[in-house]
């Protein structure tokens, strides 16, 4: 997982700020399903459990977590749809 992939452009941005488990994962799965293979989803979340939840989901779902960035609002994830 790199922290220098900010040059990669997200196809969609999913704002999950204010949502708590399991909503960020459910919404992430719904949005990733709308993308074509090779496209990137940016997810914004402030749920303290989001980092571990999204890491585990991406691994299970066969998607690649490109970046995790801590922000003032919470966390930012870049997820590459691989399948």
Catalytic residues: 21
C-beta atoms surrounding 13 within 10 Å: 12
- The dihedrals phi and psi of 54, each to the nearest 5 degrees, come to -70, -40
According to DSSP, the β-strands at 64-70 and 40-45 are: unpaired
Whole-number CA gyration radius for the chain: 11
- Under 8 Å CB-to-CB from 60, ≥6 apart: which residues? none
């Amino acid at each position: 997982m790199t922290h220098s992939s900010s040059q990669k452009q997200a196809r969609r941005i999913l704002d999950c700020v204010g949502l708590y488990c399991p909503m960020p994962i459910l919404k992430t799965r719904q949005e990733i399903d709308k993308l074509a293979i090779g496209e990137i989803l940016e997810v914004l979340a402030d749920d303290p459990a989001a980092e571990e939840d999204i890491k585990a989901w991406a691994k299970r779902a066969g998607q690649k977590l490109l970046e995790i960035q801590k922000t003032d609002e919470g966390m930012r994830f870049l997820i590459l749809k691989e399948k």
